Amino acid sequence: MELALPNDVLLLVGEQLEQKADCWNLVFVSRHFHDLFLSFVYRRVSLRDWHDASSFLYAILNRPVLARAVRELDWRDWHAKGLSEDQRKEITESTHLKEWLHVVSHSDIENQQWTEDLGQGLGDAWAALILPLLSQLRKLQLSYASTSPWLDRIMQRAIQCERPFVSQPPFKCLQEVSLHHRNDLDRGDTWGAREEHQSASTLLMPFFSLPSVRVITADSVVDPSTAITSPEQTTQNLRVGFSSITEIDLRSSSGNHGMEALVSSCADLKSFKYQHSDSHVLSHGYQPSAFYRSLAHSKKSLQTLWLDHYGSHFPFTAGGLNQSHDEWFGSLADFTALRELRVRLPNLLDIRYQNEPPTPLLECLPSSLATLYIEGCEERNLGMLVSQLQVVIKNRRTRFPGLNRIDIEGAFQNVRSDDDGATSSPGPEISDGVIKDKVFQAAEPLHIDCSNAGMELYLHDRTLLTF
């Protein structure tokens, strides 16, 4: 019996299926449906261990059309399981694997080392072997270890168009990349001791050289300008305005030099989000002025800026006493495309040595601003901030016509102090889990002004819900 619908129509129906289980059901309807819809199953691939990776590699080597069907690869849930002797033998004796390793490897020694690491279930070895086959990949989500030599190596070869990337441009369709560092994947000292930042920065930087990539998300990145890399790992210097990336999101990272090598390489950076962490060995503390210098290249294009969103700061860092994290970022008035700003109060206004900032908030904000989220407001500074914001709202019509929402976050939760001055959990006579009444009272004039101007105002304590 002939199908009533042509293949083109059936494929359009299949494209509307979001659940992978539904795609599998279509595959098993008939041989015709199997051939027609099998590629849909391979559009979004999630690999969790060596068995998944081995089966997937065998499938795409045996049927290259399936490799071309892959649009998203998710490696975030990888588990480095130990292999039995029989399982290792199965890997080392695989004909398909041997043939592909012969194509990818640049020497017999490398081939042997790669085979050994595959047999140990190491994620970066499997990932580096699979990635060159996925020519139509759009989205990549990778978990990586402190030392990920195979991923480093394959990405270096990609940007240098070395084997196996000789016949076609590497990752020509890749648009979005997420890199997640996981200590539990560390391999020990197999490849020799390395500093933690080397893998993060060297693995990240090659993606800035791929012309199709637009979005980068990564964590545990130490500023590439700080990194000291070996010659075989050194990436080409990124020129100013060279990269097509428009969105950067760096979490739990340390930008001692404002991530200058990354930020300045972007020709049209629209979104930059940065969360600082002093937990890295080479961290010298958060230095906002360094980010001001690096982001100056993007004053005309940047639309979203998050600086140090809920970052972590230690009293002492490798650079000594950690005082620089309270440094003023500088005026944002020249960032003429900026619509969303999230920043800590000491970085928004210069209040290190005085109660009132020498440069008022009115002169620090761009006229394009739509939402303003201020973090880290101490209770003693709330009155000053309310006063500064009232001036902004008063001039909203002429200076900030698009401003429609303000958020203020700080340590506003109810706590009580013992007689000796030590802070303890609130007792039954004080309501727990709420923002203090006097905080609401201090913010009430601003609330009235916002209401009259048709704006939204929210107070936050990071340990509580939004009020």
Q: Is 14 buried (19+), middle (13-18) or exposed (0-12) by CB count in 10 A?
A: middle
Do the domain assignments include residue 180?
Answer: no
Beta bridge partners of 216: 177, 248
Residues 259, 326: Cα–Cα separation, whole Å: 18
**Tokens 């990272």, residue located:** 253
With respect to residue 338, please indicate whether it lies within any of the assigned structural domains: yes
Please report whether residue 360 resides in a domain. Answer: yes
**What's the mean pLDDT when you consider all of the chain?**
83
Q: Is the pLDDT of residue 320 over 60?
A: no
DSSP string, 198-255: HHHHHHHGGGGG-TT--EEEEES-B-TTT----TTTPPPPPPTT-B---EEEEEEEB-
Q: How far, in Å, CA of 50 to CA of 56, rounded?
A: 10
* 374, part of any domain: yes
**Lowest mean pLDDT: which of 166-180, 313-327, 331-345?**
313-327
Domain assignment present for residue 64? The answer is no
* Residue 457 within a domain: yes
Whether 88 has a pLDDT exceeding 50, the answer reads: yes
3-state secondary structure 241-293: CCECCCEEEEEEEECCCCCHHHHCCECCCCEEEEEEECCCCCCCCCCHHHHHH
If one compares 42 and 421, the residue with the highest pLDDT of the two is: 42
Number of domains in the chain: 2
pLDDT tier at 420, thresholds 50, 70, 90? very low
Q: What DSSP designation does 413 have?
A: B
Band of residue 226 on the pLDDT scale cut at 50, 70, 90 = low
Q: Report d(CA 11, CA 267) in Å as an integer.
A: 38
Confidence band of 326 (pLDDT split at 50, 70, 90):
low
Other beta carbons less than 10 A from residue 224's beta carbon: 23
Helix ranges restricted to H, 2-107: 7-14, 20-27, 31-41, 50-62, 64-69, 85-92, 95-104
User: Residue 438 domain-assigned?
Assistant: yes
Is position 33 within any domain?
yes
SS3 content of the chain, % helix, strand, coil (to 5): 40, 15, 45
End-to-end alpha carbon distance in the chain: 63
**Tens of pLDDT, residues 170-209:** 999 999 999 998 888 876 544 444 444 444 667 888 999 9
**Higher pLDDT among residues 312 and 254, named by residue:** 254
- Report whether pLDDT(17) > 90: no
Cα(270)–Cα(303) distance, rounded to whole angstroms?
A: 5
Structure-block tokens of residue 146: 């402190």
**In Å, how far are 31, 166, 399, 467 from 256, measured between CA atoms?**
58, 37, 34, 35
- How does DSSP assign 47-70, residue by residue? --SHHHHHHHHHHHHH-HHHHHH-
The answer, yes or no, to whether residue 375 has pLDDT greater than 80, is yes
Q: At 172, list the tokens.
A: 């020509």
Q: Determine the residue type at 33.
A: F
Closest CA to 333 of 363, 359, 306: 363
Largest CA distance in the chain: 88
Could you tell me what percent of the chain has a pLDDT over 90? Answer: 55
Range of the domain at 367: 328-467
